[in-house]
Chain A
Amino acid sequence: MNIYGIRAIYKFEMARMWRTLMQSVASPVISTTLYFVVFGSAIGSRMGDIDGISYGAFIIPGLVMLSLLMQSISNASFGIYMPKFSGTIYEVLSAPVSYLEVVIGYVGAAATKSTMLGIIILLTARLFVPYEVMHPFWMLAFLVLTAITFSLFGFIIGIWADGFEKLQVIPLMIVTPLVFLGGTFYSIDMLPDIWQKITLLNPVVYLISGFRWAFYGVSDIHIGVSVAMIVFFLLACMTTIWWIFKTGYRLRS
């Protein structure tokens, strides 16, 4: 194992975050704060409780997930896209590091950032809405697992993307709708029957449901299913990355 190699990549990526602290931390905090102000405090105060939880508190897990997914994807995809774009990827490709070490470095840094961000957003939310965390261990486990999984997904997008547009497209056109339709703002029980079934195809439903369970002990879907889904998605991403490095897809001609 090339520990120094992993550390070099990880440190490099973290340094990039400190350099771009404003974008990395401030903007998601601001946008999430806006959600809490509008949906949590303003509109939320006129909404009834869902599953015995006040609306403001109900949307917290979903909003944290929204930021977590977006940040994981954009951090990780940008992290690997930039060296490809600037050409500095040559060094990583010619270094004695295995694909696993490269992934641990890049994805580890991206997941660290987004986990930190998730926690910052949770703390910010506390300023607007009082909430309790029933299962803190599971809450953290979901946070970290989701951060890792979607950083892996972002890494794949970063390798696949051959232009800045593509980097933006997936988070905006796919992740945002999946999160909004994944039960951030409602319980899926509230949907018509047919939509309840369709919605189960949305992987984000499982994340939000599981995450919400960790907070309030209630969920749309059994917690075991949520955990299984996220592990499944994690393995799928790992397999794709293994294939990418084996064939050199979009990395090595």
Chain B
Amino acid sequence: MQPDISIQQVSKIYEGGFHALKNINLDIQKGEIFALLGPNGAGKTTLISMICGIVNISEGRVLAAGHDVIKDYRGARKAIGLVPQELSTDSFEKVWNTVSFSRGLFGKPPNPAHIEKVLKDLSLWDKRNNRIMSLSGGMKRRVMIAKALSHEPQILFLDEPTAGVDVELRKDMWAMVRKLRDNGVTIILTTHYIEEAEEMADRIGVIRDGEIILVEDKERLMAKLGNKELRLHLQHPLASVPESLRDEPLELSVNGYELVYTFDAQREQAGVARLLRHLGEQGIDFRDIQTRESSLEDIFVDLVNENKS
């Protein structure tokens, strides 16, 4: 199947000579939620801006919905909805008008029923006659999403959609994104909140210093790189790790009350059982057991640091 977005050998060099993106190759499939993860200044926004026509492409080419974003910009842009990171709105406009404006701008005939639906989905219906400047930051963010959805795009870019947004709105937004995906919309989201990528993405790309250093299925990524930790809270403190367990990946906490066993979530199934058996044989009692899976955040931090060194 043809990818919805195909980024081919794309580079961006700004006028001052800053190399913002270096030879990016990336395909995004129809109907997936792709999270572009990376620290501030890694090039996430630049990449999106190039696809959407806000920033010139220095080298390479990009296809969106099968259209070259430069040569056939009309075809490409019609398919794309963009929610930029900055809250840029026409303060004096009313919500309804600004969303209708966006629909027209993208070449679609007026469709009040669709606008109504978008506004209702985003809980903006009550505010439709309010001027944008009277809205809260979270509401403004919703207005920007409504604008991006006004022309029924097939591809939606969300650049840091939940930056500065409260928990409730964040949950709403995640639900909305999933609903869009269920309707076949391809979603590309940038974030530096790992939680967000973990919650929503099907696939994750990690970008650092203008290079994509990894693209992987979220599940597979977490499985591949994810470690599990088993914490044993001991009944009586130990002075050191028992001799017979020296070969195991065990660590003892400073106060001697906690044994931490790190293992690979995928492979070592037998390790835990063996460890517990050993402890039983040694007569080491424990009060509590805890396991913890490493989060995407841990993976991410490891990955970024690894590449730095």
Listed in ascending order, the chain A residues whose CB lies under 8 Å from chain B are 2, 4-5, 7-9, 11-12, 15-16, 19, 83, 86-88, 90-98, 248, 252-253
Contacts and interface: CB of A to CB of B under 8 A. Distances in A.
A94 B52 contact: yes
Contacts of B102: 8, 91
A19 B97 CA distance: 14
Interface of B: 14-15, 52-56, 73-78, 80, 82, 84, 86, 88-93, 97, 100-110, 147
Contacts of B77: 94-96
Given A5-B106, A5-B107, A253-B15, A94 B92 contact: no
Nearest to A83: B90
Given A4-B105, A7-B104, A88-B88, 18 more contacts: A2-B74, A4-B107, A4-B108, A5-B105, A5-B107, A8-B104, A8-B105, A9-B105, A11-B104, A12-B97, A19-B92, A86-B88, A87-B86, A91-B82, A92-B105, A94-B52, A94-B53, A97-B105
B107 A86 contact: no
A8 B101 contact: yes
A97 B151 CA distance: 14
6 contacts: A9-B105, A11-B101, A88-B88, A95-B105, A97-B105, A248-B56
A119 B208 CA distance: 59
A189 B91 CA distance: 51
Nearest to B86: A87
B74 A86 contact: no
B154 to A, nearest CB: 13
A94 B55 contact: no
Contacts of B78: 96
Nearest to B15: A253
Nearest to B88: A87
Given A2-B74, A2-B107, A252 B88 contact: no
A86 B89 contact: yes
Nearest to B53: A94
Contacts of A88: 88-90
Contact of B104 (A4, A15, A93): A4
B104 A252 contact: no
Closest 5 CB pairs of A and B: A8-B104, A87-B88, A96-B77, A96-B74, A94-B52
Nearest to A253: B55
Contacts of A91: 82, 102, 105, 147
A94 B101 contact: no
Chain A CB count within 10 A is highest, among B56, B107, B109, for B107
Contact of B73 (A4, A9, A96): A96
B55 to A, nearest CB: 6
A253 B105 CA distance: 22
A13 B291 CA distance: 60
A79 to B, nearest CB: 12
A37 to B, nearest CB: 34
A94 B54 contact: yes
Contacts of B100: 8
Contacts of A83: 90
A163 B56 CA distance: 23
A95 B80 CA distance: 9
A2 B77 CA distance: 12
Contacts of B56: 248, 252-253
A4 B97 contact: no
A110 to B, nearest CB: 17
Chain A CB count within 10 A is highest, among B90, B92, B105, B107, for B105
Contacts of A97: 105, 107
Contacts of A253: 14-15, 55-56
